[in-house]
Structure 1
Amino acid sequence: MSQSPTILIVPGLRDHVEEHWQTILERKLPKACSVAPLEHDKLSCAARVEALQQTIAKIEGPVIIVAHSAGVMITVHWAQKYQRPVQGAVLAAPADLETPLPAGYPALDTLRDNGWLPIPRSRLPFPSIVAASTNDPLSTYERASQYASDWGSELVDAGAVGHINPASGFGAWPLAEELIRRLG
């Protein structure tokens, strides 16, 4: 009998938001955990990659990563550096950090200075699904499609769902569970 995977939540730069679908998903699923918020170096890509590594290193057995926004970029940076087997990854609403972001988000210079750029474009060493919105303010659908192609990911059109976050009207996001099942 095979062991069921642990679902590892990788949040974006806003970390844990109570009404976010990732937080709701973590509470709902029996084998789920999350990368803890950083106390220092919150904009450091390297610090976030190391936080992901510290969390995943504690998990025994299969893992499915569920990342959102900048969490997707944390995951692809992590995959460039570490070799731990991963059963699969749901990469939701990847933030295009190479294009100027809307007001209220870090500037490109800040992201570049903190190690986020360039975004890794190598094929991921595990199965993955990029779920992209057709009207995401943080990435065009075309850009998300290019990421999916570069990473060897299946692309799922999530519809006109904004950034798939509370500001876009999302608390629970049932599609996330469906995509996890596809990787399971």
Structure 2
Amino acid sequence: MKASEADILIIPGYTNSGPDHWQTRWESKLASARRVEQAEWSKPVREDWVQRVAEEIAAATKPVVLVAHSLGVTTAIHALEQAGTGKIAGAFFVAPPDVANAEIRPKHLMTFGPYPRNRLPFPSLIVASRNDPFGSYEHAEAIADAWGSLLVDAGESGHLNSESGHGPWPEGSMVFARFLSQLKPPQPVG
């Protein structure tokens, strides 16, 4: 699949993705990409965030490719329960946080847990770091296994955001381009 054949939904996490973040850069370079805007970035409410993602999936006119980072991963997964999966061609998940971890800060992020553990009916890829302060590599392995996702080991890369030196993130762009090229439009059910 080419980027122009998809509605690429950029789903940022807690506090949004700033101007130097790879999600913002990708959004500006991919004509078919659009950010899912949330009303409140610094005090996320699970129901509100999930509803916004579900609305954007429903509004899509082409096959949907989800590109979620951090709390955006959790939000996207929960949104599938509302929006369904019929329009989803694939999902590219980066740095999924462990929202069941009592040590996570701020504490209200735990309201986004737990992750559903159902196998995803579309191709998905998880990029995870071995020293992400918001989610262990073992956590990423467990959800990748449950969802049937390909897991990409990003080494010791922190939270894979601009603060950890992943503003441009050319390696991520190459992995995404390869992932996208292997996707096919979802088949109608029934």
TM-score, normalization by structure 1: 0.88
Distance 2:150 2:30 in 1: 24
Superposition pairs for residues 65-144 of structure 1, below 5 Å?
65-83=66-84, 84-101=86-103, 105-107=105-107, 110-112=108-110, 114=111, 116-144=112-140
Structure 2: runs of 5+ lacking an equivalent: 182-190
Match of 2:151 among 152, 155, 176: 155
Stretch deviating more after TM superposition (54-63 or 18-27): 54-63
Distance 1:135 1:123 in 2: 26
CA RMSD of aligned residues (A): 2.1
Q: How many residues align?
A: 178
**Contact 1:26 1:33 (8 Å CA) reproduced:** yes
Does structure 1 residue 176 correspond to structure 2 residue 172? yes
What percentage of aligned pairs have identical amino acids?
A: 40
What secondary structure sits across from 1:87 in the alignment? strand
Structure 1: runs of 5+ lacking an equivalent: none
Aligned to 1:20: 21
The Cα offsets for residues 14-71 of structure 1, whole Å up to 9 and x where unpaired, read as 1131111101110111211010131489421111011112222222111211000010
**Contact 2:25 2:168 (8 Å CA) reproduced:** yes
**Contact 2:57 2:83 (8 Å CA) reproduced:** no
